[in-house]
Structure 1
Amino acid sequence: MVKDYVVFDLETTGLSPDKDTIIEIGALKVIQGKVADRFSEFINPHQKLTQQISELTGITDDMLAGARNLQVVVGDFVDFCEDYVVVGHNLGFDYRFTKMAAEKYHLPFEHEGIDTLKIAKTVHKDLPSRSLGALCEHYGIINSSAHRAYHDALATAKLYQTLAHYFETSEPKLFVPEKMGFKAKKQQPMTKKQKAYLKDLCKYHKIEFNDAMEQMTMSEASRWIDKTILQYGRMKRFNRSDRNE
């Protein structure tokens, strides 16, 4: 069993790393089997959360309003992880989001990883569900605030240690870190026309144009404009094609 590692979990605005963004990162650094450091921070997505995400996570728009931007928080999280092995439940999901965010800001994020879901699918084929909640219930692991990033990361750390206790001797290969092979697609920065339209739209609807908007990719800018028009309305003097060129 790996003794030194970082367990982490994310909460996001949706399921697609291409379309959605991170709103919370929770992690703990384990050294020689003991928690040595913690990381827990919200991220301001500069967009309203859907009712479904708020109900699932318990996170509200007000909770995120004063949070720092993605670039700053992800930068701190990359530093927190150093070169440790990363552990997660359904690790590929969280790793993809983090990797894409890191590459967007030219930050290194290359790690070997261990996925407790992958382990559970092999050693617990008898269980109807291998979700984090179901496995915590199976082993009597208490998660006081499920679907919040830090608490899910802590529960995952306990699950990893429990699985290793019972199954590492019989299934040693499951506990060997694997290189995370996800390669993020290169993101194109937003066009000059998009940026000009975005600034005009913000001014028209009295929305602050902030540093995070300045760093948007072409696809992010298009989605943000779509959502803003849907919520606040279109500027009559512009055509739809202006923002998609």
Structure 2
Amino acid sequence: MVTDYIAVDLEMTGLNPNRDRILEIGAVKVLGGEVKDTFSHLVNPKIPVSETVVKLTGISNEMAGLARDIDEVMQEFLAFAGEFTWVGHNVIYDYGFVKQWAVNHNIPLEKRAVDTLKIARKCLVFPEKKSLDSLCMFYHIEREERHRAYMDALAAHRLYEILKKEFYEGEKELFLPRELQYHGKKQTKATLSQKNYLKELSEYHKITIDIPIEELTRSEASRLADKIIRQHGKIPDALRHRNGNFHP
């Protein structure tokens, strides 16, 4: 039975670790079943936060813009987490974003975790939905804010302790830490030709790119160029050849 662990939750700009960014990291350090330390930091994703995410989390673009860089926050978080087992609700989702960051920075990272979602799906008939929101309502777990990383990490800790008391004796296998598996491919920065092409598209179509081009990965730059072309069209070849510029 895991009694010492880190309960973890992240908020992100979207669902895909390959193209979305971490927005907030929250965690609680639990020793002997009691919270002994906490971690809570916003992250500047350096891309716009969608209205959907703003409404869901309450994290505005202004708040995100004032936050620290992901590299600083992530290094502090990994130091905070140390070698502890993770606990989280659908924890592989959060781990995927952390692992992708580690892959991008050539940092080895392997973690073991207990997933409260898997326990709930196996042990509970009700509520029908096994989301953290539904289970917090079912077990009367209070949260000052929903969909904020620290409060959700704290809720995951409280949920785990409740599930452990109710079901551990009959379902010990479910409470064993498992290796988390996420296989991410390293993301590299956009090439100079990609960045120049985006600038050309922006100038030709007289549009503003609200994402810092210097922060884009190669795949992000490619998707953005394709999106602009779909919406506004290509730069005529005659103009591109005249200027000595070519599509990367």
TM-score by length of 2: 0.84
The answer to whether structure 1 residue 173 and structure 2 residue 173 are counterparts is: yes
The answer to whether the Cα contact below 8 Å between 1:11 and 1:23 also exists between their aligned partners in 2 is yes
1:212-223 pair list within 5 angstroms: 214=214, 216-223=216-223
Letter in 2 for 1:170: G
Task: Measure how far apart 1:199 and its partner are.
Answer: 6.7
- Percent identity of paired positions between Structure 1 and Structure 2: 41
Aligned mates of 1:244, 1:176 — CA distance in 2: 52
The answer to whether the Cα contact below 8 Å between 1:78 and 1:109 also exists between their aligned partners in 2 is no
> If you compute each CA radius of gyration, which structure gives the higher value, 1 or 2?
2
The answer to whether the Cα contact below 8 Å between 1:71 and 1:105 also exists between their aligned partners in 2 is no
Task: Measure how far apart 1:174 and its partner are.
Answer: 0.6
Which residue of the partner structure matches residue 17 of structure 1?
Answer: 17
Please give the secondary structure, in 2, of the residue aligned with 1:173: helix
1:89-168 pair list within 5 angstroms: 89-168=89-168
Please give the secondary structure, in 1, of the residue aligned with 2:9: strand
Aligned mates of 1:58, 1:151 — CA distance in 2: 13
Please give the secondary structure, in 2, of the residue aligned with 1:37: strand
Letter in 2 for 1:79: A
TM-score by length of 1: 0.85
The answer to whether the Cα contact below 8 Å between 1:44 and 1:69 also exists between their aligned partners in 2 is yes
Aligned mates of 2:101, 2:230 — CA distance in 1: 26
Residue by residue over 1:19-71, the C-alpha shift from the partner in whole angstroms, topping out at 9 and shown as x without a partner, is 21111111111122222221111111122211111111111001111111222
Aligned mates of 1:79, 1:229 — CA distance in 2: 43
The answer to whether the Cα contact below 8 Å between 2:49 and 2:61 also exists between their aligned partners in 1 is yes
Please give the secondary structure, in 2, of the residue aligned with 1:125: coil
Please give the secondary structure, in 2, of the residue aligned with 1:160: helix
Task: Measure how far apart 1:238 and its partner are.
Answer: 6.3
Structure 1 gap ranges (5+): none
Which residue of the partner structure matches residue 69 of structure 1?
Answer: 69
Residues 207, 189 of structure 1: alpha-carbon distance in 2 compared, 3 angstrom cutoff:
closer
Residue by residue over 1:192-226, the C-alpha shift from the partner in whole angstroms, topping out at 9 and shown as x without a partner, is 2123445778999898997xx64642113334567
Q: Relative to structure 2, which stretch is displaced further, 33-42 or 144-153? A: 33-42
Moved over 4 A (4+): 197-210, 223-231, 233-239
Residues 108, 164 of structure 1: alpha-carbon distance in 2 compared, 3 angstrom cutoff:
same
Task: Measure how far apart 1:227 and its partner are.
Answer: 7.5
Residues 149, 227 of structure 1: alpha-carbon distance in 2 compared, 3 angstrom cutoff:
farther
Please give the secondary structure, in 2, of the residue aligned with 1:75: helix
1:78-89 pair list within 5 angstroms: 78-89=78-89
Residues 185, 206 of structure 1: alpha-carbon distance in 2 compared, 3 angstrom cutoff:
closer
Aligned mates of 1:129, 1:208 — CA distance in 2: 37
Which residue of the partner structure matches residue 54 of structure 2?
Answer: 54
Q: Give RMSD over aligned pairs.
A: 3.1
Letter in 2 for 1:154: L
Task: Measure how far apart 1:189 and its partner are.
Answer: 3.4
Q: Relative to structure 2, which stretch is displaced further, 113-122 or 184-193? A: 184-193
Aligned mates of 1:165, 1:84 — CA distance in 2: 21
Q: Relative to structure 2, which stretch is displaced further, 154-163 or 94-103? A: 94-103
Aligned mates of 1:85, 1:98 — CA distance in 2: 15
